[in-house]
Structure 1
């Protein structure tokens, strides 16, 4: 565990530029790029406004590494050179604001949206009930190469780094899934084999990207068929082998206890903050909407925090916490006008309105819902 730090302390990494503080924008689905994955004005404005608001690192939403991996309408892409002009523009703008810039690399796998892709979703194994086709060994190798190429494209666009999305039941996480991964090739069976896809992506990026390019990995510590003990061991290995610059542990709730009874003696994030980091940094995410929430995570051993809902509600959450350590996000629900003022486009606001209790409903709709 590292010593106690302030949220306002500079954070250096083994590679690449430092963060000016310990507050990063979490990678957030926002449904506001163009249909072909090119950057829109709305997505550019949303991200740049967070950099202007003082976040030390600004990360994109999960950006597609292959067309078959598209999980959301209007999802940002990084799988084709057509995406480069917008990515270059975004990287320049974030750098001008002083933020470390990162693209999250994502493939939805079996969770891809069938109506948005040309063909059946692909995953770790055949799943006829879901209409999912299992990848061959050669196709897994190609998917790894797709991640690497997407990362190199982000580097060419001028980003400081990438984060490999190995969480939330998306493709690399599907290989970590004990329930679904019954493959009999080198990508299935043992914990070593099930982690191979993620490890090979990281190794490929590290071997082929520049020496100063940052690489992070997002992991889910529980749910999605993953075992907490295995993910803890994988996190330790990733940090020990020295190829990653940080891990991003997506807890959903940083204060919660694990669901696995064998691990309930301490909070979920505590199973990672005690690991030897070997120079890597550890970030955590999950229900951090106040300055006190963020400070607690650092006090408990995290190096930095990733802010989601707090950053949606306040583009300058980082600056507000700097000015008032006890700052609390606006209570929910908030108005559509509030979110528009904070730099969300219409599609993003519509998406947030689908989250129960987040956006105020029009009076007529509220009244209609009260009727039996």
Structure 2
């Protein structure tokens, strides 16, 4: 049997295969971030489709950190009962589920949250609120509290979102971080809040509860986070007890080298962070999860067999085909039907929840 379908574990979390549904903004939560029946149905469909681990779309830890409409929330205890319904539905299908927790920072809008967006450093001509020391302390508590809610709701772990230009990614990136205090300057300082968030989460959830991170290998911007600095962050987190690292890259504000790239035509176009993953795999001892344009079972298998990564993470292909993993396991090894045109996210922005626009037109 293919290594892709063998049982493995991330800390105490036993997984049925090496396929991960990467965090995807579903656009299906209620206005206050609560779980809805539509969101539960989406998670159940993914679980029935054979994916070993589901990572939820980014769940905001504080109201002013909301990134978009109908985004899942983790900022208050009143959300826990709905989250419990979702985790139970996934567990009943034999799949594990992790909550991704995040704060959007400068990628929020006052018209969305009613509050002035928090930024790492002041930006000329912009009406933002530069984060103070007290704000940082409050944010660390907010992330830890959100992780505690995830554990109380039955999630099998949490993933800290420190990629794609969201708040923790902004701290890591010199493109956004021009601070002159203990949270700015070299990579040790720029990663300080991330380490504080991780340590506060670990104190809240305990040593045996899986804590993961999503990290940019590079911002792919001249003034942004570079690979060598990202490797340092990965090593620091691994040495502190992190359980797994999902490797991504790029900024939401960049079109060409964004996290969700277009123009994936051949196997050579797939896994566009593979060379960076090789560097990470040789630098850290914890499990590595690789996302980014993987569309073929053969590519996924080679990446694992060659030791480039331990797990394969996908987003857009599972929007098009929630049953993709079961299809591959059954012997139908055709590549994913996803054409990587990003039209699925435009559907979500319209308020109907994320779905494949191409597939919708064919119905």
Determine the structure 1 residue equivalent to 2:276: 268
Please say if residues 284 and 297 of structure 1, whose CA atoms lie closer than 8 Å, have aligned partners that are also in contact.
Answer: no
Please say if residues 270 and 295 of structure 2, whose CA atoms lie closer than 8 Å, have aligned partners that are also in contact.
Answer: no
| 1:74-89 correspondence runs (5 A) | 74-89=70-85
- 319, 323, 333: which is aligned to 1:326? 333
- 1:250 deviates by 1.2
Please say if residues 163 and 218 of structure 1, whose CA atoms lie closer than 8 Å, have aligned partners that are also in contact.
Answer: yes
1:163-183 deviation per Cα after TM superposition (whole angstroms, max 9, x unaligned): 000000000001001132121
- 1:316 deviates by 1.2
Aligned length: 334
Determine the structure 1 residue equivalent to 2:292: 286
CA distance in 1, matches of 2:340, 2:133: 47
1:233 has 2:241 as partner:
no
CA distance in 1, matches of 2:338, 2:20: 21
- 1:129 deviates by 2.8
Please say if residues 102 and 163 of structure 1, whose CA atoms lie closer than 8 Å, have aligned partners that are also in contact.
Answer: yes
Determine the structure 2 residue equivalent to 1:312: 319
CA distance in 1, matches of 2:329, 2:6: 10
> Structure 1 residues 165 and 298 mapped into 2: Cα distance closer, same or farther (>3 Å)?
same
Please say if residues 316 and 340 of structure 2, whose CA atoms lie closer than 8 Å, have aligned partners that are also in contact.
Answer: no
CA distance in 2, matches of 1:18, 1:191: 34
CA distance in 1, matches of 2:325, 2:272: 27
RMSD, aligned α-carbons: 2.4
- 348, 353, 359: which is aligned to 1:348? 353
**Which of 1 and 2 has greater Rg?**
1
- 1:118 deviates by 1.8
Determine the structure 1 residue equivalent to 2:7: 10
CA distance in 2, matches of 1:325, 1:275: 35
- Normalised to the residue count of structure 2, the TM-score between the two structures is 0.86
| 1:197-276 correspondence runs (5 A) | 197-223=193-219, 225-242=224-241, 244-251=242-249, 252=259, 255=270, 267-276=275-284
For structure 2, list consecutive stretches of 5 or more residues without a partner in the other structure: 250-258, 262-268
Please say if residues 103 and 159 of structure 1, whose CA atoms lie closer than 8 Å, have aligned partners that are also in contact.
Answer: yes
Q: Secondary structure at the match of 1:104?
A: strand
> Structure 1 residues 325 and 38 mapped into 2: Cα distance closer, same or farther (>3 Å)?
same
For structure 1, list consecutive stretches of 5 or more residues without a partner in the other structure: 259-265, 363-372
Determine the structure 1 residue equivalent to 2:265: none
1:64 has 2:72 as partner:
no
Please say if residues 88 and 158 of structure 1, whose CA atoms lie closer than 8 Å, have aligned partners that are also in contact.
Answer: yes
- 178, 188, 196: which is aligned to 2:184? 188
> Structure 1 residues 117 and 352 mapped into 2: Cα distance closer, same or farther (>3 Å)?
farther
1:139 has 2:130 as partner:
no
Determine the structure 1 residue equivalent to 2:169: 173
> Structure 1 residues 296 and 157 mapped into 2: Cα distance closer, same or farther (>3 Å)?
same
1:69-113 deviation per Cα after TM superposition (whole angstroms, max 9, x unaligned): 011100000001121111011111111111111000011000013
Please say if residues 213 and 245 of structure 2, whose CA atoms lie closer than 8 Å, have aligned partners that are also in contact.
Answer: yes
CA distance in 2, matches of 1:332, 1:233: 35
- Normalised to the residue count of structure 1, the TM-score between the two structures is 0.84
Please say if residues 333 and 360 of structure 1, whose CA atoms lie closer than 8 Å, have aligned partners that are also in contact.
Answer: no
